[in-house]
Structure formats: structure tokens, C-alpha cells
Structure 1
Amino acid sequence: MKNIAEFIIIGRIGKVEVLNTATRLSIASNYRRRSENGSYADDTHWNTVVVFAESTRCYIGEHVARGDLVMARGRLRQSSWDKDGETRYGVDLICLDFARLAPRQLENGEVSG
């Protein structure tokens, strides 16, 4: 049996950062939470996803913009690095599947791109 650690994020693009061998995406996902007065509000979480596949990176560069609704699926990878003599730990979200679900909707109701 294969052991897996995966993620799926459906959210809106905040930032696209193109690096030498990877593209880093900032994707916002919203969760509803109930406030103390009983009303509901969105609780936004920003997720940083890393894309290595060249074909996916090209697609993102040509078709994806800030505010677009996207789906990213992939695997989790633990990482560690040293900073100021102290070992730090993190979890990388490595994107394996990516899709643009809808363009950003402008304030006047029109869609971009």
C-alpha cells in the first residue's frame, strides 16, 4: 500500500512569483467562522504552493492572474534549513495538478482575461 500526504486547495490567486526553476503561488482559501455576536465571517488563510513542472509554469505565466479562482493539488514535503545558527522546519506544498477554474470577477460584474 502506498502511503501519501496530499493537499487540495481551491482558492484565489494573490501573488505569482517566478523563480529560476520554480513558480511560487500565493492562494487564498476562505473558511466561514462564527463571531462572538453570532454572525458569520470569512477567515482567509494564505497558502504558498510551489510549482516545478515546466508545462504548468508556462500555463500559469500565460493564463493565470491575480484574483483568478484556481485548484492546486499535490504532495507535502517537510524541509529544514539553518538560520542564525538555529535549525528551522517547514512544510512545502509541491503542486502536481493545477487548473484555472474561473477568471477574476471585476467590480462591475465583468470578468477579466
Structure 2
Amino acid sequence: MPRNIAEFRIIGQVGGIDEKDKVTYVNVASNYNRQVNGEWQEDTHWNRVTCFAKCAEYAGKAAKGDMVHVTGRVRQTSYERGGETIYGTDLVADTFSVLNRANSEN
């Protein structure tokens, strides 16, 4: 039987890490180029990745500015607040690797 999947891959730099009791959130920047008025500009997209268990442990060892490679699952979420349904999207990490340390000497 075929499997249906929704997955992501991000290679980017860590902008911040928010460690909680059982989960770690990592903001990772990915950069794209886009043309504005005939000129090419960098367009940075911030992605908030949710890490549990071993991924959270690895993410907790990363630092701001580190280049990381993260893969995982895309999960749609919803909850009620004040009688209104709020929808969101979670990026749940399956793998988290530091590719290059920001403070390393190249």
C-alpha cells in the first residue's frame, strides 16, 4: 500500500533556540533570491522547527549562527480559542545535524 507523506528539508543558519521541558524549538533561516524592480535581493524565510527526544538533545547543542540540516514531518494543527478555530503548521524534526559551527575557524 502506498504511503502518503508530508516532509521537509531545511539547510540554514540557527537564529535562536528555545529549550522547554520536553521540547526544543529552533528558528532556522533559509535564504532565497528574488527580483525586486529588476534587482536581485536576498529573501530570508524563518522556519520554527519543533524537536523532541534525541533531536531536542542535538538541537540543544547547536548555537546561534550554526549551519544546520534538519529533516522531518509537516503536521497541520488546530485548536479552539475564544470560539474561533486557529490553524497552524508544525515542522517536526526527525533528524537534526550541525553542519558548521558559527564560531569554528575554517
TM-score (norm 2): 0.90
Post-superposition Cα deviations, 1:33-55, rounded to whole Å, max 9, x if no partner, equal: 1120x2211101100100012x2
Q: Which residue pairs with 1:108 in the alignment?
A: none
| Deviation for aligned residue 1:84 | 2.2
Amino acid at match of 1:83: R
Q: How many residues align?
A: 104
How far 1:57 moved relative to its partner? 1.9
Tell me, what secondary structure is at the counterpart of 1:59?
helix
Shift in Å at residue 95 of structure 1? Answer: 0.3
Give the corresponding residue for 1:52.
52
Q: CA RMSD in A?
A: 1.4
Shift of 1:61: 2.0
CA distance in 2, matches of 1:93, 1:82: 20
The aligned runs of 1:34-113 (5 Å cut-off) are 34-36=35-37, 38-53=38-53, 55-62=54-61, 64-104=62-102, 111=104
Task: Please state which structure has a larger fraction of its residues in strand.
Answer: 2
Letter in 2 for 1:26: N
**Normalized against structure 1, the TM-score is what?**
0.85
| Structure 1: distance between partners of 2:76 and 2:58 | 27
1:26-37 aligned at under 5 Å gives the runs 26-36=27-37
Distance (Å, rounded) in 1 between the aligned partners of 2:55 and 2:78: 26
Between the aligned partners of 2:81 and 2:65, the Cα distance in structure 1 is 33
Q: Extract unaligned runs of 5+ from structure 2.
A: none
Distance 2:84 2:7 in 1: 28
Residue identity opposite 2:83 in structure 1: G
Q: Percent identity?
A: 42
